[in-house]
Amino acid sequence: MPTYLDKIIADHRELAGSDTRKTSDLISIARDMPPCLGFRKSLEGAGVSIIAEIKRRSPSKGPLNAELDPAAQAKSYELNGASSISVLTDEKYFSGSLDDLRLVKKSTQVPVLRKDFTVCANDVLDARVNGADAILLIVSALSQQELVELQGLARDVGLDVLVEVHDESELDRAKLAGADLVGVNQRDLYTFEVDSGKAIVLAELIEPAAVKVCESGISSPSQMSALAKAGYDAALVGEALVRSIDPGHTLAELLRAGRGDF
């Protein structure tokens, strides 16, 4: 029986296969874009930074905040200390869009990550020409050759690359590809269940020079404190913020914990 990830990736590969645009044309446009803001650099510094996410729904939980206003949410995130903003642009499973990405980019001054299931060169280039400063590459969704080639293309057009892993074998693949920005996703993309201890276990195995990001399942100050002790540079927080009555306050509380301010 197909898993969530199988279905999502199959759909994205089908879309990629039907894309008739010339990659060379998109590369030319991408190279003419203004310089990207430093997504990776924004996550470095004291304590655990937060990548605050724009996310309307999830495949496993359904609607999270169907009426979410991307621009207003992003402004609240920025005002309350988010180092950067993640925008889910998958339409079918997460109710996102490239329109959301453009709106957030116009509304804020912090770096923006396009979070999606990137499977081809045109996906990378779409991120760049629509205003992203960084993209997500999911190791489990790509062959090693695809991982290396897509990361290389992204860097060539100025994007930072968050390489997402779920276990030690995927971390080895990320290292082999030369990833300098590694995200440990605590959510199993096959079952969508969260293992809140996964990031702690994998922390010491990540290359010391890499910027370390914990993804998924972060909702409490105690979790942020644990990530700080484990040496993480940042946490990507989505559901806890989009479901919050006061996302700015929730974000500020998590940041204080990640910096050891109580």
Residue boundaries of the structural domains of the chain: 4-258
Domain 4-258: which topology? TIM Barrel (3.20.20)
Determine the distance from the C-alpha atom of residue 63 to the mean position of all C-alpha atoms in its chain, rounded to a whole number: 19
pLDDT in tens, 173-210: 999 999 999 999 987 766 667 777 889 999 999 999 99
Split at pLDDT 50, 70, 90, the class of 216 is confident
Is a pLDDT exceeding 60 seen at residue 18? Answer: yes
Positive or negative, the CA dihedral 166, 172, 178, 181 is: positive
Is a pLDDT exceeding 90 seen at residue 261? Answer: no
Is a pLDDT exceeding 80 seen at residue 167? Answer: yes
pLDDT in tens, 56-90: 887 777 667 778 899 999 999 999 999 999 999 99
Active site residues: 53, 55, 115, 164, 185, 215-216
Query: How large is the average pLDDT for residues 110-119?
Result: 97
